[in-house]
Amino acid sequence: MPEFDLAKELGRKVPFSAEAEQSVLGSVLIDPDCFNRLTGILTERDFYLEEHRLMFAAMQSLFAESRDIDPVTLINAVVRESALEAEAAARSHRDYHAVDAEEAGRYVRLIAEVVPTAANVMEYARIVRDHSKLRRLIDVCGEITDDAFAQTDRPDVILGKAEQLVFELSQGRDNKEFAHIKDVLKATLSNLKVVQNEGINANTVATGFSVVDTKLVGMGTSDLVILGARPGMGKTSFALNIATQVARGFANREEDRDKAVCIFSLEMSREQLATRMLSSEAMVDSHTLRSGKFNDADWNKLAAAGVLLSRCNIFIDDTPGITVSGMKSKLRRLASSHNTPGLIVIDYLQLMDSDKRIDNQVQKISDITRNLKIMAKEFNAPVICLSQLSRGPEESGKGRRPVLSDLRDSGSIEQDADIVVFLYRESYYKETPENKSAVDVIVAKNRHGDTGTVRMTWIGEYTKFVVTEDREL
């Protein structure tokens, strides 16, 4: 990030409270058990004064090692942390004054006398965190100002970046620093414990199809999933079935009820998508819905399906030719209204537009898929992007199964995707197939698990995919 000290430029005081920082540290010395509540709220970066950063980092080390936090152990930990920082400063040719035991002891004893009780530690922590956010906002404003003065990008690109920086700050995801392996492992082991005990991985989203989930081991929360098929194979219906099942899962879990399924439809209108979803959920013939020739029993099923879908947090945008920046802007606004994107579906890739002026279709698709992967990481949600395939599977006239090289317009689709899934229905090519309703779901690429093919059933009149038997091919 460019160094731009806006507060200094304007002659203003940098936001921080030495008293609040001291009170947080002093509260931990009085009641070490309260540090457990602080770990999810504060990091050492939230402290403005270097000595306070060093002391909090030392407390974190003691906590991670399951050691008691008291004045004696803290002094030793501060000296150790300071020595490590001095070594790092020497390697990077920075000036740094290492703290010795006498100096550390003097300041630790001073901190211990600042606060009479730890009862208000969370209020002190909130003050420290609020001032940290204000300082980060100053830095972000400086970066935005530098970009605007530099004029190296189009205004809409600079505006999109500014919006992203402010959004990340508001969501608490603005930490651009390295994470130590011990902190990463702590979160990873905690998640593995949940998986072992509850069978639910907090870092994945299930499709709702058991045979597919067994093969994929769920969609990672920052995965770009490409769903490719020739026209008529049912890729839109497959994506909508997954979207509905994921949204129902979010609605049924208390901890996920603020999550939303976001659908960008560049080909079909939102009303057409809603009609398909109603047909699938109500099990009413889609042709009947279009013709209007349905009876009272159909109405009852449609009403029940409508109630079920209305309870789901599903949002549909049918803006044609939308760019990745346009999607991100809408997703950020949605997130600000307490509807966190939990799954993003895009139908389909080749109808999207690039944020850059690119005439070459291959380069355009490459730019889009790269930014879709970045979007998945930014929102920490899987992105399912539908894609056309080339005519390769049909050139022989027999309709061979699709392969990765059939992805249309760019090899970067395969490169950027974490998961690539193809749909193949033999009945589409053969007049008398063995099984007219059989569909093969081909996992052609999977960064997290196995590849291979699973068999499902396609009910065309309801635009619905169902699992008939858990078997691999």
Q: State how far the Cα of 326 lies from the Cα of 338, in Å rounded to an integer.
A: 19
Q: What is the pLDDT of residues 300-344, one digit of tens each?
A: 888 888 888 888 899 999 888 888 888 888 888 888 777 889 999
The closest of 47, 314, 331 to 171, measured between CA atoms, is 331
- CB atoms under 10 Å from CB of 54, counted, come to 21
CA dihedral for 307, 310, 312, 318, sign (positive or negative)? positive
* C-alpha to C-alpha distance for 290 and 293, rounded to whole angstroms: 8
Mention every residue, 6+ apart, whose C-beta is less than 8 A from residue 255. Answer: none
Kindly report the length of the chain. Answer: 473
- pLDDT at site 470: 44
pLDDT range class, residue 171, cuts 50, 70, 90: low
Mean pLDDT of 197-214: 78
Q: Give 217's Cβ-side CA count (13 Å radius).
A: 11
Does the reported pTM lie above 0.85? no
Residue 291, pLDDT score: 77
Whether 97 and 210 map to the same domain: the answer is: no
Number of Cβ within a 10 Å radius of residue 263: 23
pLDDT band at 397 (very low <50, low <70, confident <90, very high): low
Q: Are residues 126 and 207 in the same domain?
A: no
Q: What is the pLDDT of residue 109?
A: 85
Distance CA 134, CA 15 (A): 7
Share of the chain above pLDDT 90, in %: 16
Task: List pLDDT tens digits, range 217-253.
Answer: 888 888 999 999 888 888 999 999 999 999 998 888 8
pLDDT tens-digit profile of 34-77? Answer: 888 887 788 888 899 888 988 888 888 888 777 888 888 888 88
User: Which 3-state string (H, E, C) describes 63-83?
Assistant: HHCCCCCCHHHHHHHHHHHHH
How does pLDDT run across 4-16, given as a tens digit for each residue? 454 555 557 888 8
Parallel, antiparallel, or unpaired for β 464-466 and 259-265? Answer: unpaired
What CATH number does residue 36 fall under? 1.10.860.10
Which is it for the CA torsion 415, 416, 421, 424, positive or negative? negative
Q: What is the pLDDT of residues 257-302, one digit of tens each?
A: 889 999 999 988 888 898 888 888 888 888 877 777 778 888 888 8
Residue 178 lies in a domain: no
Residue 1 domain-assigned (yes or no): no
pLDDT of residue 230: 85
Overall average pLDDT of the 94-116 stretch: 78
List the single range of 13-27, 85-99, 409-423, 427-441 with lowest mean pLDDT: 85-99
Cβ-Cβ contacts under 8 Å for 458 (sequence gap 6 or more): 234, 425, 437, 438, 439, 464, 465
Same domain, 314 and 397: yes
In this prediction, residues 9-25 reach a mean pLDDT of 82
Paired with 458 in beta bridges are 465
Q: Which among 89, 118, 138 is the end of a domain?
A: 138
Q: How far apart are CA 116 and CA 393, in angstroms?
A: 75
Residue 394, pLDDT above cutoff 70: no
Q: Which residue has the tokens 């920490």?
A: 380
The 8-class DSSP code of residue 330 comes to H
User: In angstroms, rounded to a whole number, what is the distance separating the alpha carbons of residues 272 and 464?
Assistant: 15
What is the Cα 181 distance to its own chain's centre?
Answer: 21
Residues 315 and 228 in one domain: yes
**Pair (71, 218) in one structural domain:** no
Give the C-alpha separation, 19 to 307, whole Å. 54
Helices 235-252 & 270-282, crossing angle to 10 degrees? 70
**Whether residue 260 is found in the same domain as residue 405:** yes
Residues serving a catalytic function are 267
- DSSP3 helix / strand / coil % (the chain, rounded to 5): 55, 15, 35
Query: Are 115 and 231 contained in the same domain?
Result: no
* Contact by Cβ (8 Å): 334, 385: no
- Domain of 26 in residue numbering reads as 14-138
Same domain, 241 and 117: no
Query: Measured between alpha carbons, how far is 204 from 191 in angstroms, rounded to an integer?
Result: 11
Q: Clarify whether residues 119 and 216 are in a common domain.
A: no
End-to-end CA distance of the chain: 51
Give the number of other CB atoms < 10 A from CB of residue 220: 21
Domain total of the chain: 2
Show the tokens assigned to 127. 């003050």
Structure confidence at residue 106 (pLDDT) = 84
Please report the sign of the dihedral spanned by the C-alpha atoms of residue 341, residue 343, residue 344, residue 347: negative
Q: Which DSSP symbol is given to 381?
A: S
> What's the chain's average pLDDT?
82
CATH no. for residue 448? Answer: 3.40.50.300
Q: Tokens 């500014």 identify what position?
A: 162
Residues 271, 126: one domain? Answer: no
The verdict on residue 473 lying in a domain is no
User: For residue 460, what pLDDT is reported?
Assistant: 82
Q: Please say whether the beta carbons of 1 and 143 come within 8 A.
A: yes
151 is a domain residue: no
Q: Is the pLDDT of residue 120 over 80?
A: yes
pLDDT confidence tier of residue 434, bands split at 50, 70 and 90: low
Q: Are residues 133 and 278 in the same domain?
A: no
Q: Helix, strand or coil for residue 470?
A: coil
pLDDT at 346 over 90: yes
